[in-house]
Amino acid sequence: MNKDILNKQAQHWENAFSGKQDMFGVSPSSAAIKASEIFKKEGVINILELGAGQGRDTLFFAQNGFHIKVLDYSKTAIDNIIKKAKALKLDNLITGQVYDVRNLLPIKDKKFGGCFSHMLYSMALTSKELEFLSNEIHRVLNDKGLNIYTARNIKDTDYKKGIHRGEELYENQGFIVHFFSKEKIKKLSKGFKILNIDSFVEYRTEGTYPRKLFRVILRKS
């Protein structure tokens, strides 16, 4: 595994976000809509969102009354989220920070009721880095807090296609994706109770082929 290649993904995403605004569309993901329902049911009002991209889910959460702190390693992504939040008068509910989640999260212990990430786990992160991130999420969540995330699964049509970058990471069109099995999810759930793992399909934009994902719901134990 060439870590230099993995490290270059940050600049690749920066270029992608700079070159195409709303590349994933403007509507919230189905994952965020489902997570919002779960957070509301659990009485969660403050959320940490990791890898928010261009903010379609962030804005949706704020429009539904949640307070959100966003971390993303793309400056363009964070700048655009804050700009959109101000235009919609939602900036009192959203704070953003450029940050690499491979480092200790810049957050105090037990700060959030929930954590949400849509496909962040499928970025160019090694299993060791994902274990570290899972431990950090556990640290910053309140007692019995929820971690809801999605990840591309091994039944996805891109799995084992393109350039193999080590472990279950494959590069297609310049983007490196980490694919998940249920066994991997279970290994990453140390310190959490698994409430649910289900499969679903998402279309990136209208007319494109579907992404096959897992939705994972964990409770801090």
What is the rounded CA–CA span in Å between residue 134 and residue 189? 7
Report the candidate in 215, 11, 192 with the shortest Cα–Cα distance to residue 121.
215
The phi and psi torsions of 145 (rounded to 5 degrees) equal -65, 160
- Provide CB contacts within 8 A for 141, sequence distance 6+: 110, 111, 112, 113, 114, 115, 147, 220
> What is the reported pTM?
0.90
Residue 22 in this model has a pLDDT that exceeds 80? no
Residue 122 in this model has a pLDDT that exceeds 90? yes
How high is the pLDDT of residue 178?
Answer: 97
Residue 8 pLDDT level (bands cut at 50, 70, 90): confident
Residue 7 in this model has a pLDDT that exceeds 90? no
Architecture of domain 3-220: 3-Layer(aba) Sandwich (3.40)
Tens digits of residue pLDDT in 154-186: 999 999 999 999 999 999 888 899 999 999 999
Residue 14 in this model has a pLDDT that exceeds 80? no
Residue 49 pLDDT level (bands cut at 50, 70, 90): very high
Q: What does each C-alpha distance from 206 to 25, 149, 151, 177, 210 come to in angstroms?
A: 9, 23, 20, 21, 10
Mapped onto helix, strand or coil, the DSSP state of residue 194 is: strand
